[in-house]
Structure 1
């Protein structure tokens, strides 16, 4: 079988499960470890023993562990996979790390036994890669115990049904939360996942900082940094998201200040926002409420910028690029969208409600910003708008921009309701 090449490594993927198109997630993991390693190297003047320790709890063929050690500068790598039959493959693929002086361990334990052993021996890591099949919630408390302060849990879940509202009972069992159908379903799943991590960290007296979060609809990945203590106001970032399928309104409430939900456009009788049959006199559809989940930012811009800079410096120093094309596009999209506020609408839904095509995203974002609202394209799901503008204003602006686009003069609304030639 030919070797698989990725970044600066080549290895045998074996006969087990391996997805080449998951490379963007591996690329961002390498950049994250490289960024963390640079921070540790900068601290060596005060801490001569400083290095970077990585635990890959579900290593598979070992590609992530190999890249962390060979490309990213990890000084110690522990690669584990529960399938004992894959241990010879791991040993062969990771041999270059041992030859280069990286402190290497290879084991074949279940993730539960591995993390429990780390807890008993009080062994902690700077990055814990938990690339789980299904829902990883049962492993989260033990995983956090295995992190050093400032360490990062790089968590993946392939459970797409329960956190996107397609299996409500399973969401209650696995996430301890309600998950209802939502236009930004991938983002909903990520927020539910971060919410699980936040609650587990708070129970330990720690704080959390999401560094980046993304999905391609099949796997949901979040990198969450463990802080020594919660940041001021961090508890306000756990709450509920409500979506009205009648008028399209989205409402957000932190659990800390939870009260009665305000009226949506259906109750106010806003004809522009209402779907057919939901105008004055029609029965008000119930709000679809999801949570508790994370309401705060999904990305940490400073960390993403540092990751991009670490890649630039490595390439400038002659190292092979770690970012493939898809990874580079992903990183740039995440850098443009902090993931806050937690209100996101598909442009296609706006077009459907307005009875025409979707508004042009760039012009729409500019118009909202010109009025003082926050607005940006979603970095999580393509073709979606994130904004804190009131829903009625979102629809009004979308309608004006679409009408101007479709008019013979091809004009778009200005910030005060006038028009600007485009």
Structure 2
């Protein structure tokens, strides 16, 4: 292939006179044509983390992948080339995408069991249910909200396997379209300063309820967002863990003083008074997931895989390919914040409550930890504090320091 010129966000543009078989884009070990459909090069961190999840699953045994909305096939191709998948089923509902999928996934034909289809996700998943066919990894990279597909998608995941899903519906779960949130999520979504995290917790709450209705349990492995797409990976178990249902609850926020409160639905009671002398009505969101967002053990293993690359023993002879630096930074943020505790405040909001109006983040974290409270920088949204401390304590310890606002 002639020496390519590097384009925007890692795209590799072929030179003049390129044939239809020349790659237009390189990512990891994959070279492929993008075609005319929707594609976001800057979503590579999400694809990198999907590959790392797949490598982790391949280390445990046979890896079969179902890519429900494959698009140009970049995720399917990388699962086959980099994660050591034994079988990949790439599906896209648009039949006009099949020739492009077939062309791009041709390198997998001699490596693994490959299947291509052009079915709606509902039809494909229903067929898998009828034939009792399940996969170690189900990748559901949806446009809009994937709630309607969740029961069938969960049925398609083997016990111990992973459902990796995305939603591009940003208005409903962030409190900007409350009616739509009721329809699509079965939950109230109110405006909240940690809107990305609110959306992820609402999404997790829907997944949990769908899993419990099937008698299954789940363990969140990682949750993250770029503000446009909300991504969740959960491990599906045969049955719920003890007290797993305690992780479903409500989150209340006072737009007057900034206080936040969390309650489990299982132990629901009245809300406590906030700091306002004449408090406005609390903005209550939920039901949503109030437990941890990340699994430290899984994230530790994914970080090790990202650093070392795939090995023959871990990924069945898959090609070693680098993980983007942006993906490494994302993993580091998630490792540093397990998402334990749903109360998260922007540092700017805390600073507005102080006489000086300025605040440094790291000293506040240290003071909270010395006082016996958990405290971390949010790995979901930049410039936000997660802590188990009561709001009064956060403000009191924040007021003991000085300096400039550190985001």
TM-score, length-normalised on structure 2? 0.91
Greater than 6 Å deviation, 4+ residue runs: none
Deviation at 1:354, TM superposition (A): 1.6
Find the residue that maps to 1:222 and give its secondary structure.
strand
Give 2:400's aligned residue.
Answer: 400
Post-superposition Cα deviations, 1:41-78, rounded to whole Å, max 9, x if no partner, equal xxxxxxxxxx1100000000000000011001111000
Post-superposition Cα deviations, 1:356-405, rounded to whole Å, max 9, x if no partner, equal 44422111111111111000000000000000011011011112212xx3
Give 1:335's aligned residue.
Answer: 335
- 1:226 pairs with one of 212, 215, 236: 236
Equivalent positions of 1:160-309 (< 5 A) are: 160-266=170-276, 280=277, 283-309=278-304
Give 1:414's aligned residue.
Answer: none
Deviation at 1:320, TM superposition (A): 4.1
* Structure 1 residue ranges without an equivalent (≥5): 41-50, 267-279, 407-422
Is 2:88 aligned against 1:77? yes
- 1:31 pairs with one of 37, 52, 64: 52
Cα distance in 2 for partners of 1:68, 1:253 equals: 40
Cα distance in 2 for partners of 1:243, 1:356 equals: 24
Greater alpha carbon shift after TM alignment, 205-214 vs 301-310: 301-310
Contact 2:306–2:328 under 8 Å retained in 1: no
Note closer, same or farther for the CA distance 1:32–1:195 as it changes in structure 2 (3 Å cut): same
Deviation at 1:113, TM superposition (A): 0.6
Deviation at 1:321, TM superposition (A): 3.7
Deviation at 1:319, TM superposition (A): 5.3
* Structure 2 residue ranges without an equivalent (≥5): 1-12, 15-23, 313-317
Cα distance in 2 for partners of 1:116, 1:80 equals: 14
Note closer, same or farther for the CA distance 1:319–1:311 as it changes in structure 2 (3 Å cut): farther
Find the residue that maps to 1:265 and give its secondary structure.
coil
TM-score, length-normalised on structure 1? 0.87
Post-superposition Cα deviations, 1:137-191, rounded to whole Å, max 9, x if no partner, equal 0000000011100111101000000100000000000000000000100000000
